[in-house]
Amino acid sequence: MNIHEYQAKQLLAKCGVAVPFEIPARSLAEVRPAAEKIAASGSAKIVVKSQIHAGGRGKGTFKSGFQGGVKVASSVDEAVGYAEKMLGNVLVTKQTGAEGRQVRTLLLAAGAKIKREFYLAVLLDRANSRPLVMASTEGGMDIEEVAEKSPEKIFKEWIDPAVGIMPFQARKIAAAFGLKGDLFNAGVKLITGVYNTWWECDATMVELNPLCIVELADGKETVMALDAKISLDDNAL
C-alpha cells in the first residue's frame, strides 16, 4: 500500500527526520488558511504540492493543460491560484500512465532554500535477505536513470536486520554525501531516522528524493526531507 507524501512525512517526523513546515488541504476552503499559516511562519515561498500515489509530479501536466504538479508561490493569493488549477484535476506524470490521477489533496509547504539535493532510500533487498540503504548525490533526478547511466554514483549499505543501522553505517552514508561538521551530524541523525521509519512501519520502501541541504533564515544550513514516498508491506498491514 502506498501513502501520500504528507502522511509519509508525518511518519518520518515521528522518527526524528527533519521535514518542512507543511499543512495538507482537501478543499479550496482549506487552502487559504493553510497558506496563510505558512506565510505567517516566516516563509517567503509557499510550495503547492499535488498529492497522488505517483512520482514525477513536478514535471507532470494536468489534463487541463496546466503545467506542473508542484508549484512555488510567492504569495498566499498565488498559492490559492495554483490550488484552483490542481484540486479535482487529473495530473499525468511519467509514473501515472496516460490516464493520470485525480488530485484530491494538496500539501502546502514552506518553501526551502535548496543548496544541494540528494537521494536516499531504504528498501528490502530480497536477493540478499537484508534491508538496503541506497544513497546518491544525484538527488531530484530519476534514480532509475542514474542507476543505468552512472551506477557508480549510487552508494549501497546493507543492514543487519537483527541489529538495525549501526552508527558507523549511518556515518559512512553521511560521508558518501560529502557532509561535514554540523551537517554531518544532522545527516547521521536523519539517515538513522529514515532507517528506523522503514523498520517501525513495516515499509517495503522509504524514499527521499530529494533529501536536501537547505539554508535557514539565519543563514545556517541543515538537512531536510523535501519529498518522501513510503510503501507499506500489505502482509504486515
Q: Give the CA distances from residue 81 to residues 35, 178, 181, 182, 230, in Å, rounded to whole numbers and listed in that order.
A: 11, 39, 41, 39, 29
Residues linked to residue 20 through DSSP beta bridges, in sequence order: none
Q: 181 to 220, contacts with ligand ADP by CB under 6 A?
A: 209-210
Please give the size of the binding site for ligand ADP, defined by CB under 6 A.
17
Q: Binder to ligand ADP among 56, 125, 155, 215 (CB under 6 A)?
A: 56
Instruction: Examine residue 8 and tell whether it contacts ligand ADP (CB under 6 A).
Output: no
In degrees and rounded to multiples of 5, residue 59 shows phi and psi of -95, 10
Q: Which does 101 bind (CB under 5 to 8 A by kind): ligand ADP, Mg ion, none?
A: none
Give yes or no for residue 221 binding Mg ion (CB under 5 A): no
Q: Binders of ligand ADP among 21-50, rule CB under 6 A?
A: 47, 49
Q: Report which residue's Cβ sits closest to Mg ion.
A: 227
Angle at 236 between CA 231 and CA 237, to 5 degrees: 80
Residues forming the active site: 119, 207
Contact residue for Mg ion among 209, 211, 224, 225 (CB under 5 A): 209
Positions in 123-142 near ligand ADP (CB under 6 A):
140
Single residue of 227, 228, 230, 232 touching Mg ion by CB under 5 A: 227
Length of the chain: 237
How far is residue 166 from each of residues 14, 177, 216, measured CA to CA in Å?
Answer: 20, 17, 29
- Using the structure block, give the residue that is written with the C-alpha cell 533526478: 141
Rg (CA), the chain: 18
Which among 54-62, 156-164, 186-194, 196-204 is the span making contact with ligand ADP, rule CB under 6 A? Answer: 54-62
- Nearest to ligand ADP of 136, 209 (CB atom): 209
Q: Which residue, 70 or 203, has its beta carbon nearer to ligand ADP?
A: 70
Q: How far is CA 197 from CA 14, 64, 65, 163, in A?
A: 8, 37, 37, 15
The contact set with Mg ion (CB under 5 A) reads 209, 227
